[in-house]
Amino acid sequence: MNASTTTQDAAGRRGLRWLRLAAAATLLAGAASVLAAPDRAAVEERYLQERAVCERLGADQDRAACLREAGAARAQALEGALNDGAADHRENSLARCRMLQGDDRRDCLSRMSGAGSVSGSVEGGGVLREYRTRELGAPGQPGGR
């Protein structure tokens, strides 16, 4: 075996490694797209349900707008771009607490995570989240025992 053959063999092995790596990357990308692909049957079922609701609307203009929205939501869902907004809602609720510090921030995060009680509604003008903590003072001080 001469030096030229050895160099060609090494170059061939490197090329083969790159080819294998490219093939593996292609397979992984394909698998990821399959995993991320929306369930077409579920999207179509949801679309048909939304269309049925739209058809029951009274005014032609409302019905037309509803059907447009249902179609747009279907198109986004088929592209995998439609979500239920739960992640955005969670992020927005936690963002409210970022400007606070210390115990106020801790309490805010607790309220946004579901601790305490909730009353009211957005439709009614606002949601009140209440989280009560009991703080005991040292003996002999106001609030202490």
- Supply the pLDDT for residue 5: 52
Distance CA 13, CA 20 (A): 10
Distance CA 65, CA 58 (A): 12
Q: Which residues of the chain have pLDDT under 70?
A: 1-38, 83-87, 141-145
Locate 11 and state its tokens.
């170059």
Distance CA 137, CA 143 (A): 5
- Nearest 5°: the CA angle 17, 22, 25 is 125
SS3 113: coil
Hey, where are the domains in the chain? 3-79, 86-130
What is the residue-averaged pLDDT of the chain? 75
Distance of alpha carbon 73 from its chain centroid, rounded? Answer: 16
- For 82-103, the pLDDT digits (tens) are 766 666 777 888 888 888 999 8
- Model's pTM, two decimal places? 0.37
SS3 80: coil
